[in-house]
Amino acid sequence: MLITCPNCQTNYQVAQKAIGALGRKVVCANCQQPWQAKLELAQEPIIKPKIVANNDASPSKEQQNSDEIFSSIDEKNLDDEFSKQEQIEKQTTIQKEDSEKKPANNKIDNNNKLDKSLKKQQKKALLKRKDNITQNMPIRRMIQNARIWVLIILLLISAGSVFFRNNIVDVFPQFAGFYESIGLKVNLVGLEFTNVKTLIIKDNGFDKLSISANIHNVTNNKISIPDIIVSLMDENEEILMQWSIAPRVKSLRAREILDFETQLKDAPPDAQTVKFSFARD
């Protein structure tokens, strides 16, 4: 039969004979609440014993025998039923806790599986990238080497166009304006003035300006020497006086040097510098 604790509503399945016809006092294993368990009304009608008035109010022999039979036979059965019911409830509680833990464990397992799959994908992508880099290494090296050689060639061309500008202009005169626009002087004549000197000397009590310099043939060819133009400049690079002189010789051999000198009386007092140039035909 099924009995229910009136305090916590816990159900217990016990044998009917363990309760007995008169019921018995039991203790709930869950809440420790005692109560008087009785047979249900659906059971067979219970024959009530006749109560005989007795001043001693002593229990009848039949009731004493019933209590003794219940105590000796069914006490152990009732305790066993309560123990079994308690074990069932404990197992049910443990199963519920396990069922609650399983989803969390499943989530952890799923996360671990996802992490492993992501790591595998990343590893495959890295290996594929390494393979692509290894396959493209020769091409990349060729491109890098080509860029380096192009840069070297451009530098050599630039340096040659600067150092050999006179020869370039000699062959291509139209480049003279380009060199002058970037601030590079171009010697179209092939002659240079070097070792320029100025000196004030006394001549019969008068000051005289003496100017000397060298003419250098910087080419490997024989060059004709045009007339030399001497200019006196002030501090603002304005021409104060200008004149021309004829060289002693008409031409210079390759790498030959020729010196010349000119003198001027009554030089302008504001003259600061001397400039030489060749007369153009």
Confidence of residue 74 (pLDDT cuts 50, 70, 90): low
Confidence of residue 33 (pLDDT cuts 50, 70, 90): confident
Domain ranges of the chain: 2-48+59-99, 187-278
Cα separation, 271 vs 281, in Å, equals 28
Task: State the distance between the two ends of the chain, measured CA to CA, in whole angstroms.
Answer: 144
Of 90-94, 160-164, 232-236, least confident by mean pLDDT is 90-94
Count Cβ atoms within 10 A of the Cβ of residue 103 and give its class: 0-12 exposed, 13-18 middle, 19 or more buried: exposed
Name the residue with higher pLDDT: 96 or 229: 229
Is it the case that residue 41 has pLDDT exceeding 50? no
**Phi and psi angles of residue 178, each rounded to the nearest 5 degrees, phi first:** -65, -45
- Is residue 195 within 8 Å of 213, Cβ to Cβ? yes
Cα separation, 58 vs 270, in Å, equals 162
- The alpha helices in 3-74, defined as continuous H runs, are 16-19, 61-69
Q: Which amino acid is at 129?
A: R
Q: What is the rounded average pLDDT of the residues 238-255?
A: 93
Is it the case that residue 26 has pLDDT exceeding 80? yes
Q: Which amino acid is at 253?
A: R
pLDDT of amino acid 218: 87
H or E element, residue 217 = strand 206-217
- Is residue 149 within 8 Å of 157, Cβ to Cβ? no
User: Is 187-278 CATH 2.40.10.10?
Assistant: no
Write out the two tokens for 167. 């020869």
